[in-house]
Amino acid sequence: MKSHNHSILKANCGLFGISDDYIEKYQSLDEKFIKNKSSTFFFEATGDSMEPVVFSGDVLVVDRSIDWVHGKIVIVYLEGQFMCKRLLKSPRGIILRSENKLHRDIQITEEMDFLIWGVVIAQARDLRNF
């Protein structure tokens, strides 16, 4: 994967803010998000179950070398398909939660074919048609 350095500018998102009109630094997105090249993968999100956090079409940067912790957004392999969900640890075990309240939680059982595949560390969204 070829790394490209992009200039990083500050953009104030507050009310009446004025950002400095100069380049703060040069930053390669690869250097910022890819700490371990062999364990970093990209997924394209599909569906609406993770809205309003993750939208269909978002590119998710997933690191398999990071240990998952309660509350993180992860990619799991469940019953033959990859899914993006928030992972919760409860007294009953692992629960996969969608951000969209129209989707129900998934309680993981021992009978399920289940693997925590990796932790989502970043996402990119094409805002040209947003």
Q: Virtual CA dihedral for 97, 37, 24, 21, nearest 10 degrees? A: -60
**Alpha helical stretches, state H, 1-130:** 29-33
Domain shared by 76 and 28, yes or no: no
pLDDT at 15 (0 to 100): 56
pTM: 0.79
Mark whether 85 is an active-site residue.
Answer: yes
Which SS3 state, helix, strand or coil, does residue 35 take? coil
Which residue is catalytic, options 7, 28, 38, 85? 85
Biggest CA pair distance of the chain: 57
To the query of whether residue 65 is one of the catalytic residues in this protein, the response is no
Do 81 and 120 reside in the same domain of the chain? yes
Co-location of 104 and 75 in the same domain: yes
Per the structure, the complete domain to which residue 39 belongs is given by 34-124
Q: What is the pLDDT of residues 62-120, one digit of tens each?
A: 999 999 999 999 999 999 999 999 999 999 999 999 999 999 999 999 999 999 999 99
Q: Is it the case that residue 17 has pLDDT exceeding 70? A: no
